[in-house]
Chains A and B, each alone.
Chain A
Amino acid sequence: MRKHWGLLGLFLLVCMVTALCGTNFLTAYNLMNLVQRTALFSILALGVGIVIGTGGIDLSLGSVVCLVGIAVPWLLIEHGWSPWAVVPIVMAGSAFIGLAHGLLITRLRLQPFLVTLCGLLLYRGIARWMTGDQSQGFQGGFAELREIAVGRIPLPGLDTFRLPATAIPLIALAVVVALVLSRTIWGRWLLATGSNEAAARYSGIPTGRIITGAYVACSLLAGLGGMLFIFDVGSAQPSDFGNFYELYAIAAAVLGGCSLRGGSVSVVGIVLGTATLQVLRNSIILLGLGSQLEFAVIGAVLLAGVAADELVRRWHGARLERRSAL
């Protein structure tokens, strides 16, 4: 946590400014919305964080979100399949996409950037082709299934605030990923692979399998995210659903302390980074700033935050050095 003081400070600062100068920031409804959006985007960011940990990148994430998000209502509504078939099939499909990425990168030695960039084009193209560019939605159906994403869970002692259901998979995934990374040999191997793949390979670490596993995990999480997104939004158009989500996820992961050079992943940082991005977007409307300013404000605040974070780290490092010198 210590290494996230800068980010935590930025997050709290944005929250405080919005709460003090904006309207209704601290209402239960707004907080529920923020938890919901943070959970949805954090699931994607966790996946890409794992891949970044191996020193790779996944640009296809937004298109996987699109393909899965389109496939779910397409199979349920257009083809009348049962949810018991659709959910396992789309998740297996997502895992297969990740496996294909991993094998192309490790066996064929293709660049991760290139493989996933092609994936970005391919999966969106498939989604557009299979639906004939028609938007897909639940048309008021499958309300119970959609509760997985739009449900709100009552909490003891809180009347108006109910926990968005998407927080549950996020918490479970965050705990699992954090434990795997910090407490298991696989996690250690993953970070070692990201730090120096050649050294890890010569030490006997099965780097190919580790990297492939990371891409499978990333695509699985993107598939899960896509499914939750479509349950939340209710309808999607294949040409724009999930556009640029890979960039939001990568930005959140890097903001949360994942190094693009690999070898470093922080689950807490990823969730905090995503939450900061979502609160910033929320603040634009609650502060009454023109929506035209949105990207400029987000860009400026994040740049300031990352710079502040780096300065805090350097100052902390210098202080430790001085102490050890004494």
Chain B
Amino acid sequence: MTIQRTVAVLAAALSIMATMALAPVADLVAAQKERIRGYAAKPLERPHLSFVSNGVADFWTIAKAGSLAAGKELGCEVTVVFPGAGLSDQKRMLEDLVIRGIDGVSVSPIDPKNQTEVLDQIAEHALLITNDSDAPASPRLCYIGMDNYLAGRQCGELARKALPEGGEVAIFIGRLEQDNAKRRWQGFVDGLLGRSVDAERRDDHTKPFHEAGYTIVGTWTDSFDRAKAKANIEDVMTRHPNLALVTGLFEYNSVLAVEVFRQAGRAGKIKIAAFDEGAEVLVGIREGIVLGTVVQDPYGYGYESIKVLHALTQGKLDAIPEGGIMNIPARTITKDDVDAFWSDLKAKLAAGSSAR
């Protein structure tokens, strides 16, 4: 590295540190909008945009395919990064993007409440939007994704329909720190219990509770350790022999529920309301041992993120959706449409892996 480059990197790092004493959120939003107005006079030629996931999963590979497709279509450079080691890894990657001089970032923040500094830093130096999981208190210009509360409700309603008389229900989820997980969890509970729509409601997930004939025996997290996630399902089955239904609110939780019930000879006896498009879940839906699954549109998250960021770098302020939220609704896939959905998914996955 030449001395000039070293000095430039150090200067960028120092300027980031200097912005640690940051302006209020409203000021940061206003500053970004001012920058966009500036782009109207002088649009960025081949802007450098980034899509940042909250982890590593097939879901994100599909989102990557969408981002890269939009980048190719619109003539911008797109960098997609997948933090593999949680919050600190995501923070490091975001800081590195700022140092590289990124023009716009779409991020799925892992823990928005505790990531204010790094999100503010991005907004100070680039355009910030969120995808998949929102950070409403951050200076993000908009959120692109589904409403996780409503998607959770869809899953809860699927469960309620299959279990109209009530019964014991267990919930499995990778982790509950992030906003989308919390909202999805609450949505599932409200949908299952037939409650009114209230995305601000917060039940205590650490305790079992009984309501309207349903007993939620508990919620178990596993920090993405699949062997642990599998053991959780086995142990909960042991502790609660009358379990009527389980839901896996992250992709692999549902996949493992199918595995465990198959191995224990309980497939079809304990119902599964699933989330996302794990292959085993889709096979399970086809065989009738999974009620259905609520799926998102990660390709759309990636594609729309880059499209919005690109429009902003061309000075188009009206690319920010009304209310700051672009809703890409979730779908419920059941036995009727599982085959068509699967063919489409395979094509998108292939596009995602060939784009790496």
Contacts and interface: CB of A to CB of B under 8 A. Distances in A.
Given A29-B264, A285-B232, A234 B280 contact: yes
B353 A233 contact: no
Interface in A125-142: 128, 132-135, 137, 139-140
Interface in B218-257: 220-221, 224-228, 230-232, 234-241, 252, 255-256
Given A133-B82, A281-B231, A292-B206, A237 B238 contact: no
Contacts of B237: 29
Contact of A239 (B55, B227, B352): B55
A229 B227 contact: yes
B40 to A, nearest CB: 38
A133 B231 contact: no
B56 A234 contact: no
Contacts of A135: 57-58, 252
Interface string A150-175: 10000000000000000000000000
A140 B280 contact: yes
A233 B224 contact: no
B118 interface: no
B259 A233 contact: yes
Nearest to A238: B56
A235 B239 contact: no
A236 B61 CA distance: 15
Contacts of A240: 56, 84, 224-226
Contact of B349 (A27, A134, A229): A134
Contacts of B279: 137, 139-140, 235
B263 interface: yes
Interface string A5-37: 000000000000000001111010110010001
Nearest to A240: B224
Nearest to B237: A29
A286 interface: yes
Interface residues of A, number: 40
Given A139-B280, A233-B227, A285 B57 contact: no
A132 B356 contact: yes
B277 to A, nearest CB: 11
B303 interface: no
A288 B218 CA distance: 9
B31 interface: no
A17 B57 CA distance: 39
Contacts of A40: 227
B299 to A, nearest CB: 15
Contacts of A128: 56, 84
Interface in B34-83: 55-58, 60-61, 82
B283 interface: yes
A238 B256 CA distance: 16
A33 B264 CA distance: 10
Contacts of A25: 238
B278 interface: yes
A37 B56 contact: no
Contacts of A285: 220, 232, 235-236, 238-239
B238 A24 contact: yes
A241 interface: yes
Contact of B235 (A239, A243, A282): A282
B238 A29 contact: yes
Contacts of B230: 232-233
Contacts of B259: 233-235
B209 to A, nearest CB: 14
A286 B206 contact: no
Nearest to B349: A134
A148 to B, nearest CB: 13
Contacts of A234: 255-256, 259, 280
Given A237-B57, A239-B84, A24 B241 contact: yes
A290 interface: yes
A154 to B, nearest CB: 14
25 contacts: A24-B238, A24-B241, A29-B234, A29-B238, A128-B84, A132-B353, A137-B255, A137-B278, A137-B280, A139-B279, A139-B280, A233-B226, A233-B227, A234-B256, A236-B226, A237-B56, A237-B252, A239-B56, A240-B224, A281-B228, A282-B231, A285-B220, A285-B232, A288-B239, A291-B220
Interface of B: 55-58, 60-61, 82, 84-85, 206, 220-221, 224-228, 230-232, 234-241, 252, 255-256, 259, 263-264, 278-280, 283, 349, 352-353, 356
